[in-house]
Amino acid sequence: MKKNLVACAFVLFLSALVSFQVSAASTTRLGGQDRFDVAVNVSKNGWSSSTTVVLANWDAYGDTLAATPLAYKYNAPILLTKPASITPRTKEEIKRLRAKNVIIVGGPISVSENIVKELKNMGISVKRISGNSRMEVANNIAKAMGKKSKVVIADGFNFPDALSIAPYAARNGYPILLTNNKHLLENSTQSLINSWAISQTIISGGPLSVSNTVYKNVPNPRRFGGNSRYEVSANIAKAYYSSASTAFVTKGSIFADALTGTVLAAKKNAPMLLIEPNSLPASIKNTIINIGFDRFMILGGPISVTDSIKNKLDNEIVGATIMLDPGHGGTDPGASGNGLVEKEIVMDIAKRVNSKLNSSLAKVVMTRSTDKYISLDQRVKEAEKADADTFVSIHVNSFASSAANGTETWYSARYASSESKELAEEIQKELVKALGTNDRGVKEGGFYVIKNTTMPSVLVEIAFISNSSDASKLASNTYRQKTADAIYKGIMNFYN
């Protein structure tokens, strides 16, 4: 989440006026009835016109694994066709783009000479890049791009690793070279690398995709491996896209949607994240959280990437950093009563809130995750250091009279006043509803941690540890989970 901060300094005193503009998560689906539609919709999203188009066989990924850097060089979308004649939707898109050149990737079996004639009859210049094997096609694409100081190597007989690295390779002009079915380099590929005096070789995939023999025989290798295709794509994103806000998301078990989207991803300087159709693998989830992506482009229809995944990515809390502050700790136990200690209760509840927020793809930072003392000033500094978007301090209340009871939530009017009040209102509403406690309302006050944090901040007083009825709820695992759920819902309400 991004926020705008405006500070005004006055001669006799310093006051800060902070206005926050939180960017809503945004998810765009580039789908369609089939892979032809996806390719056309990708093209329409990225190109109002294009002098050049790259054309490939709709069902053969081998020849086209290395095509993305070439397409990016010519600012050309990749479109798909069946082998015998140009698919009508593709033909119409070529016309819309007002293309003057088509580069066909693959031999006549993949894209027939009839298609070449058809294109020429449309007044289009046609160039074919082919070879006796997919490795040779990749080599010829590399030669067409021109001599480079770095190259990428990926498995030529399995597509995911090549497509995960393709946006980065394309953006930087690095050709993609392919291993053969033994996960080795052909002599012609090794000769190409040797003749170019390569300074670095980027390897996408583990030793089962690009062998250790290859790794040992190429210049200055850097391998991106992982336990799965999903982890490989996550590791590439972490290495090269740590400051990006946009990511492309596509099903990791089919090639066509990712293939045609790689050039658009390169144009937007965004990674390609591979996922399962109805779930986010842990490595991808952690990458989204830790990098803070809040813009997503989904490649493929609901059969490829379900609407439930789209809705999850489209939630406004995705990309936000939430600071949870379990009060007290260590040598400062907080309040106690009815056999309970505040620092233990709030730590338990904060961890439960953390888990809920993490599942919603928010980045959660805890001022403490163990029983240790942290000063109030340090808590504020940690929130500012984390560039938190919201700050929630969790406490339980106590009073000399055991009659005092109920729930209240505090905010400060010093910074982000209206946003803080709104956050407090949402959390208070959900807590009272979930716990059935006395509603003591939302209050403005000068607690140190909410007075001195510049983002929307609240301090929650869940219930009174000194009141036997409230304390019985604070002692209950069921009510602690209800409390965590309510705080989570209040935060989600605030963002949505």
How many C-beta neighbours within 10 Å does residue 370 have? Answer: 9
Pairing of strands 407-411, 439-444: parallel
Q: Is the CB of residue 381 less than 8 Å from the CB of residue 313?
A: no
Distance, in Å, from the CA atom of 378 to the CA atom of 90, rounded to the nearest integer, reads 60
Residue 189 CA to its chain's centroid (Å): 34
Q: In Å, how far are 91, 230, 362, 447 from 280, measured between CA atoms?
A: 35, 9, 14, 39
| 162-177 burial code (b ≥16 CB/10 A, e <16) | bbbbbbbbbbeebbbb
The active-site residue out of 382, 408, 419, 461 is: 461
Residues 6+ apart with CB under 8 A from 233: 160, 164, 252, 271, 272, 273, 274, 284
- Rg of the chain over Cα atoms, rounded to whole angstroms, equals 28
Phi, psi of 178 (to 5 degrees): -120, 145
Q: In Å, how far are 155, 191, 192, 200 from 196, measured between CA atoms?
A: 21, 9, 6, 11
Distance, in Å, from the CA atom of 194 to the CA atom of 191, rounded to the nearest integer, reads 5
Look up residue 61 and give its two tokens.
């990924």
How many C-beta neighbours within 10 Å does residue 191 have? Answer: 12
Residues 6+ apart with CB under 8 A from 365: 321, 322, 323, 324, 382, 383, 386, 388
Amino acid of residue 409:
T
Distance, in Å, from the CA atom of 237 to the CA atom of 239, rounded to the nearest integer, reads 5
Residue 410 CA to its chain's centroid (Å): 33
Closest CA to 320 of 349, 291, 345, 344: 291
Q: Report which secondary-structure segment, H or E, holds 366.
A: strand 363-366
Catalytic residue check, 461: yes
Q: Is the CB of residue 322 less than 8 Å from the CB of residue 296?
A: no
Q: Is the CB of residue 465 less than 8 Å from the CB of residue 340?
A: yes
Closest CA to 70 of 175, 154, 155: 175
Which residue in the block uniquely carries the two structure tokens 């805890």? Answer: 366
Distance, in Å, from the CA atom of 376 to the CA atom of 379, rounded to the nearest integer, reads 5
Distance, in Å, from the CA atom of 174 to the CA atom of 166, rounded to the nearest integer, reads 9
**Which residues belong to the active site?**
461
